[in-house]
Amino acid sequence: MCGIIGFVDYPNSRRLAEKGLEKIAYRGADSSKILHFGQITFGHNLHAIIDFVEQPLVSEKGLMVINCEIYNWLEIGKFNSIYANNDSELAAKYLDKVVLNGEEEFVEAVNKFDGDYAFAYYSKRLRKLFLARDVVGVKPLVYYFDEKNGRFAFASEKKALNVSEIDAVHLNPRKILVFDVEAKQISFIDREITPKKVAKPLPEIKSALIESVKKRAPHKHFALLFSGGLDSSILSKVLNDLKKKGRYNGFFACISDPDSNFAEPKDLASARSAAKSLGLELFVRKVTLSELEHELPHIISLIESSDPIRVAVASTIYFATKEIHSHGIKVVLSGLGADELFAGYDRFKNSNDINGDCYSYFIKMYENDLYFEDIICMKNNLELRVPFLDIEFAQKALGLNAKYKIGKIGKTIVNKKILREIAIDVGLDKEIALRPKKAAQYGSNFDKAIESLAKKHGFKSKADYLNSLIKKCASVTAEGMVTKGAQRNIPIAALLSTGKDSLYALYLMQKQGYDIRCLITIESKNKDSFMFHTPTVELAKLQAKALGKRLVVVRTKGEKEKELKELEKGIMVAKKIFGIEGVCSGALFSNYQRQRIERVCEHLGVRHFAPLWHMNQEQYMRQLIPAGFKFLISKIACYGMDREWLGKRIDEEAIDALVALGKKYGINVAGEGGEYETLVTDMPLFRQKLRVSFSKKMSNEFTGEIDVKVAALDRK
């Protein structure tokens, strides 16, 4: 709805705010204003849906800038005897009223806002700046703390702060940030998303969805991103049944370019069929390959990423919202969030903790899909509304028993089971309700089109091609300052165990264009750690040298849970020295490992990537050999694997034998149950190969490990 920015104790802060607001001018064309108060500078771009109150908001008690759509602002005002002209003014007056009553009451007040918001509020008396956003993270908010100089900055988007060469990070929506302007310190107040148990799942989830859609449906003409799949179709059906709403249309974008051998995608036929069934007027934006090629640098700049999957998804939304804008519409509804809440992705079918995985995907949406969808919508002067991410609805969805997410309808096992049942219950055509999911980037041809462009320009991968476009995204200010209009994917550290999983995860992340700044390895005295593969540090050092990467070594006693504190220290070191913003791990199926790494990362404000998560184990193993990975078994600990397996080089024949052992004894083909560990001696990113000589040490018939006597790097 709006764009906000602020600086504390920055020289030339007004100029920085002006330049920052220019970078995100599309977030509000109705009004733009900057306010300077002592050390504080606030700026605001306004996108008005109906009436508006100019910002920044100023009172005797405080200053505020807010980007919001608060649906219960009238009720809050009435209950607290506060008169306000709109939701933003109500928020400012309400916080004025409670800010001096202590942090607990302040948090309680913020939690009463029902809707999507991101704000900065400065208390004149406390001399403290508060930053908060809705707990799901629908509205974006990033910040930067210059600890050395005691400076602080925030904005709706990273690019707004790039004019001052600031590397901002996302504010975790489950934390309220407090910056003490006098002490030059930041602290955080934790908030939670608590799953709610539901006694009668189908009627309660159905009712919560209808209520969420009702709140978000404008009374003026609006749009629905429509693919003809379950999520957008059920929203359309609920909208059709609402009595009070404006007129709405469906919009779909795809690559359709016969001259470049791109026929209409199958999803277009599905979208048209579903729209006809729902009586929905559907507008289709057909995009040619040359149009996509022309717009890709701009899209990369907008979403601040060159990740191929993100760019393909973003392209779909970009062209659809561009079409919506041409119709003079200001609000668009999206089905975003249903897959995360109801186990919509195929990989959920392999999960041994469906609800845990749903929660994990859900709480990370703010730094992935939500961020770039909001930016793209705002670029096209649209406010994004996401009914599936209503907090009441989301809490109930997260509290459902997993059997309501993946289970049988008739004889077929489906994901999003209860959502499909609700769709049928509200009268959606059964064929649409049971339609299998196809990811937007594939069903619209955008992924295929980017691959085609990469080949056309002689690149081996989509990531290499998209990274080559980054330099086209930079812009130059009137003063000649080069600004970072786009950047490579965030810098990350890779957890290194010396085994196949951690190194293949690193390999995939680098292929996707991520900047691997350093490696982190854990040296644990507990050789049977549940958390970490415990490599010989000397081998990790050699692998790091082969990769040309710096290595952070973390030493731990390996005591359960305490070792997480040691991991936290290692990530903090990597964050401080190498400026990392994320961590990748080789987690494949171990929720014990993944959830704990995620917990540490969330606490430190860095992202966790697990690119191998829920890969089919046999398929994963069979990818390694043709990819150029050479590795041997360094440790065994399961019935069926004897001395002959120790030191064995893994090839297709060995994988066949592991598959046979899996069928006979139930072992995990990739060793996910701790059946064996591996040592990688060569892989595509190694500049040199690792040579080892070893002896075999057996504890019993089926337990043993190699004892490395000599290890060195040789020319490849």
Per DSSP, the three-state class of 573 is helix
Topology of the domain covering 201-450: Rossmann fold (3.40.50)
CB 176 within 8 A of CB 189: yes
Residue 102, pLDDT score: 86
Distance of CA 323 to the CA centre of its chain: 26
Give 588-598 pLDDT, tens digit per residue.
Answer: 887 777 888 88
Q: Give the sheet arrangement for strand 128-133, strand by strand.
A: 57-58, 62-70, 115-123, 128-133, 175-180, 185-190
Looking at the predicted structure, is the pLDDT value of residue 30 above 80? no
Return the percentage of the chain with pLDDT > 70, whole number. Answer: 94
Q: Biggest alpha carbon distance in the chain?
A: 80
Return the percentage of the chain with pLDDT > 90, whole number. Answer: 72
Residue 31, pLDDT score: 77
Residue 674 CA to residue 634 CA, distance in Å, equals 12
Instruction: Using a cut of 0.75, tell me whether the model's pTM lies above it.
Output: yes
Residue 533, pLDDT score: 58
Mean residue pLDDT of the chain comes to 90
Which range among 54-58, 386-390, 552-556, 705-709 has the greatest average pLDDT?
386-390
Residue 485, pLDDT score: 47
Please tell me which residue, 486 or 336, carries the higher pLDDT value. Answer: 336
Looking at the predicted structure, is the pLDDT value of residue 76 above 80? yes
Q: Give the sheet arrangement for strand 607-609, strand by strand.
A: 550-556, 514-524, 489-495, 582-584, 607-609
Q: Read out DSSP for 101-149?
A: G-HHHHHHHHHT--EEEEEEEEETTTTEEEEEE-TT--S--EEEEETTT
The DSSP letter of residue 349 is G
Residue 521 CA to residue 553 CA, distance in Å, equals 5
* The architecture CATH gives domain 2-190: 4-Layer Sandwich (3.60)
Give 216-257 pLDDT, tens digit per residue.
Answer: 999 999 999 999 999 999 999 999 999 888 999 999 999 988
Please tell me which residue, 532 or 361, carries the higher pLDDT value. Answer: 361
- Tokens coding 430: 């059964």
Looking at the predicted structure, is the pLDDT value of residue 172 above 90? yes
Lowest mean pLDDT among 5-9, 309-313, 457-461, 556-560: 556-560
When pLDDT is cut at 50, 70 and 90, the band that residue 476 belongs to is: very low
Could you tell me which residues come within 8 angstroms of residue 183 by beta carbon, excluding any fewer than 6 positions away? none
Single out the residue of 606, 562, 611, 565 nearest to residue 585, CA to CA: 611
Residue 561, pLDDT score: 62
Residues 325-347 have a mean pLDDT of: 94
Letter for the amino acid at 574? A
When pLDDT is cut at 50, 70 and 90, the band that residue 29 belongs to is: confident
Residue 596 CA to residue 395 CA, distance in Å, equals 22
Could you tell me which residues come within 8 angstroms of residue 347 by beta carbon, excluding any fewer than 6 positions away? 613, 614, 615
Residue 287 CA to residue 295 CA, distance in Å, equals 11
CA-only gyration radius of the chain, Å: 26
Per DSSP, the three-state class of 7 is strand
Residues 1-6 have a mean pLDDT of: 90
The three state secondary structure string of 616-643 is: CHHHHHHHHHHHCCEEEEEEEECCCCCH
Per DSSP, the three-state class of 167 is coil
Residue 475, pLDDT score: 46
**What is the torsion angle, in degrees rounded to the nearest 10, for the CA atoms of residue 535, residue 540, residue 546 and residue 549?**
130
Residues 378-401 have a mean pLDDT of: 96
Residue 130 CA to residue 111 CA, distance in Å, equals 14
Domain with CATH 3.40.50.620 in the chain: 201-450, 489-715
- Tokens coding 580: 């990392």
Residue 14 CA to residue 132 CA, distance in Å, equals 23
Residue 492 CA to residue 497 CA, distance in Å, equals 16
Residue 522, pLDDT score: 84
Give 414-437 pLDDT, tens digit per residue.
Answer: 999 999 999 999 999 999 999 888
When pLDDT is cut at 50, 70 and 90, the band that residue 488 belongs to is: low
Residue 157 CA to residue 135 CA, distance in Å, equals 18
Looking at the predicted structure, is the pLDDT value of residue 198 above 50? yes
Domain with CATH 3.60.20.10 in the chain: 2-190
CB 650 within 8 A of CB 548: no
Give 535-587 pLDDT, tens digit per residue.
Answer: 567 899 999 999 999 999 988 776 666 677 888 999 999 998 998 999 999 98
Which residues lie across from 33 on neighbouring strands? 44
Residue 712 CA to residue 535 CA, distance in Å, equals 16
Task: Quickly count: other Cβ atoms within 10 Å of residue 530's Cβ.
Answer: 14
**Which CATH class name applies to 489-715?**
alpha beta
- Tokens coding 74: 């009238």
Q: How far is CA 203 from CA 198, 236, 422, in A?
A: 10, 19, 8
Residue 616, pLDDT score: 87
